[in-house]
Structure 1
Amino acid sequence: MSTENTQVPNKGKRRVVLAGITVAFLAAGAAYAAYYMLVASKRVETDNAYVGGNLVNVSSQVTGSVIEIRADETQLVKAGAEIVRLDPSDAEVALAQAEARLGTAVRQQRERYSNVEQLNAVVDQRRVALKSAQEDLARRAPLAADNVVSGEDVAHARRAVDDAKAALDVALKQAAAARVAVAGVAPAQHPNVLAAKADYLSAWLAARRNAIVAPVSGYVAKRSVQVGSRIAPGAPLLSIVPLDQLWIDANFKESELRDIRVGQPATIEADIYGSKVTYHGKVVGLAAGTGSAFSLLPAQNASGNWIKVVQRVPVRISLDPKELARHPLRVGLSATVDIDIANQGGGALGTVATPAQTYATDVLSQPLQQAQMATDAIVAKNMAN
């Protein structure tokens, strides 16, 4: 066979192979274009995402020394459970002092109300004295004209009338001042008594607040309090993380935010479980600024040497509570987020917050009715004759 005849089939085969490769590339390009138009263009994804949650700091409302700690890090505590106890001695002494001050205030008001009657009696006495002095002067004045009594006696009688008038005026003013101090209220409702009641309530609350309770259910973290420490109100003792209230903060590039809307569905894969577990959530809001804008030292881009850096904005994504209960997460874990941006009906920014409480606790409230009953008993005891 000649060389020319051999090259002809080889050229034909080469053309077929090249044509096949070209068709394959064109098919792959068409497939990718179709995938991009139908799928990829309607989704945004990032692996710069982390689990977020509430970090509830527990602090004391009163000053005291720690004598007992009933929870440590990694332990689960229920809302209302006592976790730290302070020495109650100082609070008990303050409560006893407040009770004594309340009793003293009640007795002082009883004395003031009694003084009103006493001063009214003094007024009556001064009126009688004035009338007697006036009658004595009336008897002496005619006799002075007949020289039966001396002028000096008449002068003494006039001075006695003046002194009686002054004494009556003083008594009237003292009685008026005493009535003003007690007018319009009963002894038990006098402002001084009410102020003493408020002091007792404050001391009663301080005594109960020596038991520091967990405001929410969750896991203890960042415990810094130690037995024997002298703590002040507001000092952080430990933190509680409620792991049933978690979300995802996905940091998308600014170029990827254009089509993200509130309410869009999202799928999340946490690195702790990998692709075996998929969480389903939705976009609940976008941060009002980039991470660098809210950092401790914001970037200063007005300098001469400036390099543009693509910024990222945190996008908050809620999690399904049932899925979260089946596969618990921890704050700070890494995740990958994929958002379906096909639905453009939602808003780019969050709506006005609803008036309903998102987070609340009632375990810190105290039964003030018991304290009110205690103050009423103290007042009644000191009002008894």
Structure 2
Amino acid sequence: MSSTPQSKIALIHAEEAAAQEAAQDSARADKRKGLFLRFGLGVAVAALAYGGYDYFVASRHVETDNAYVGADVAQISAQISAPVQQVLVQDTATVRAGDVLIRLEDTDARLALARAQADLALTLRRVRGLSATDMGLGAQVAARAADQARADAALIAARADADRAAIDLKRREALAASGSVSGEELSSARNAAATAQANLRSAQAAVALAAANRDAAAGTREANRVLIDGTAPDTHPEVLAARAALEQARVNLERTVIRAPFDGVVTRRTAQVGQRAEPGKALMVVVPVQTAYVDANFKEVQLTKVRAGQKVTLTSDLYGSGVVYHGTVVGFSGGTGAAFAVVPAQNATGNWIKVVQRLPVRIALEPKELAAHPLRVGLSMTADIDIAR
């Protein structure tokens, strides 16, 4: 049976539809292949970019935002006990090194200084008196030596008199048996001999007394000389001690004026007029903002290649990324923050979980950049260390 024109047209349309569908399927397949190819190319480019970034950038830098500004603050306290007379600064005030912060009542310090000056003058006079006393004691020793010489001479004379009286007595006693000497004359000779012996003993006692007096005078002079031997009045130990007491009194008077130890900003002021300042009790704190540093707490796994002297770039939350600071790694803390915590972690338990520790790294900042954009203690920072150098 022969086909009609209509059926032939329908067949042609069907064939055309099938061809179009096949073409569309081929186009979709080509499109999918292109998409997969572009996706694979994108993944490869991303992997290559990541690898390049990791090799050329990330592997040469370590970064943390766990970093904070610090400074070696000065705690201002009195070094003597005295009432506060004046407080010349308030919190947030900027001070220069040497500026007066607090004045203490100085009446007691001035009196102590005057007393120390008087003590020094008295000590100098006493020491000079010791030198003069030495001269007087020397004269006494010479006088006692002369007394001893006179006593020695008197002893010689008394011994001679005693010998002569003894001889005269023996002669008269020898003559008394023959009656040539009267009893009265013999008694007189005996009395003269006894008197001569008494004078001899008195002379001997006088010699002993003179020797003792000379030794006493010599001992007194030696004791006085020990106090001044080898020293001048200005270098005498008592004078030096009095002069040291005077210097201490002068220093205490100077300490009634409390000054700023360096440039900085005043904070935590507790000093009030009338309050009694005691040594060691904090009155205020001065923060040296121009010498601030940064303590960056890096993870322990980041510190393998970090060394002192490496350069650091930093940004602060205060100024944002528009202000970049440059610094240098100074050193590392002696332990992690957990190790120096008030209550250190106790890992010797059954429920221990490993936690990556952080070690503070001290970073010094450029002074010129700090002067241009001052920082305050405790501000947050982001630190990036170039470990390629």
- For the aligned pair, the TM-score class normalised by the smaller chain equals 0.7 to 0.9
Q: Which residue of 1 aligns with 2:133?
A: 115
Task: Give me the whole-angstrom Cα distance separating, in 1, the residues matched to 2:362 and 2:62.
Answer: 14
Shift in Å, 1:179: 2.1
Task: Give me the whole-angstrom Cα distance separating, in 2, the residues matched to 1:17 and 1:188.
Answer: 103
Q: Is 1:15–2:15 an aligned residue pair?
A: no
Q: Is 1:61–2:79 an aligned residue pair?
A: yes
Task: Give the structure with higher Rg (CA).
Answer: 2
Q: 1:134 to 1:314 in 2, by over 3 A?
A: same
Task: Give me the whole-angstrom Cα distance separating, in 2, the residues matched to 1:47 and 1:188.
Answer: 65
TM-score by length of 1: 0.84
Aligned counterparts, 1:138-149, within 5 A? 138-145=156-163, 146=165, 147=189, 148-149=192-193
Shift in Å, 1:152: 2.4
Of 201, 222, 226, the residue aligned with 2:247 is 201
Q: Which residue of 1 aligns with 2:359?
A: 313
Shift in Å, 1:74: 0.4
Shift in Å, 1:4: 5.0
Q: Is 1:335–2:381 an aligned residue pair?
A: yes
Q: 1:260 to 1:152 in 2, by over 3 A?
A: same
Q: Which residue of 1 aligns with 2:101?
A: 83
Q: Which residue of 1 aligns with 2:60?
A: 42
Q: CA RMSD in A?
A: 1.8
Deviations 1:56-115 (A, max 9, x none): 112222221111111111001110111111110111111111111111111211221121
Shift in Å, 1:294: 2.1
Q: 1:123 to 1:276 in 2, by over 3 A?
A: same
Shift in Å, 1:314: 1.2
Task: Give me the whole-angstrom Cα distance separating, in 2, the residues matched to 1:155 and 1:136.
Answer: 11
Q: In structure 2, what residue type is equivalent to 1:234?
A: G
Task: Give me the whole-angstrom Cα distance separating, in 2, the residues matched to 1:294 and 1:248.
Answer: 18
Shift in Å, 1:132: 2.4
Q: 1:128 to 1:253 in 2, by over 3 A?
A: same
Task: Give me the whole-angstrom Cα distance separating, in 1, the residues matched to 2:329 and 2:162.
Answer: 111
Q: Which residue of 2 aligns with 1:369?
A: none
Q: 1:161 to 1:51 in 2, by over 3 A?
A: same
Task: Give me the whole-angstrom Cα distance separating, in 2, the residues matched to 1:283 and 1:179.
Answer: 65
**Identical positions, percent:** 43
Q: Which residue of 1 aligns with 2:332?
A: 286
Q: Which residue of 2 aligns with 1:102?
A: 120
Deviations 1:164-220 (A, max 9, x none): 221112112112222222222222322111111111111111111111111101100
Q: 1:244 to 1:142 in 2, by over 3 A?
A: same
Which moves more between the two structures, 261-270 or 85-94?
Answer: 261-270
Q: In structure 1, what residue type is equivalent to 2:202?
A: H
Q: Which residue of 1 aligns with 2:3?
A: none
Of 223, 226, 236, the residue aligned with 2:272 is 226
Q: 1:259 to 1:143 in 2, by over 3 A?
A: closer
Aligned counterparts, 1:228-307, within 5 A? 228-307=274-353
Q: In structure 2, what residue type is equivalent to 1:40?
A: A
Unmatched runs of 5 consecutive residues or more in structure 2:
1-16, 166-188
Q: Which residue of 2 aligns with 1:184?
A: 230
Task: Give me the whole-angstrom Cα distance separating, in 2, the residues matched to 1:157 and 1:283.
Answer: 97
Q: In structure 2, what residue type is equivalent to 1:253?
A: K
Q: Which residue of 1 aligns with 2:256?
A: 210
Deviations 1:205-252 (A, max 9, x none): 111111111110110012122211222223222111111111221111
Q: Which residue of 2 aligns with 1:375?
A: none
Alignment size in residue pairs: 343
Task: Give me the whole-angstrom Cα distance separating, in 1, the residues matched to 2:214 and 2:105.
Answer: 59
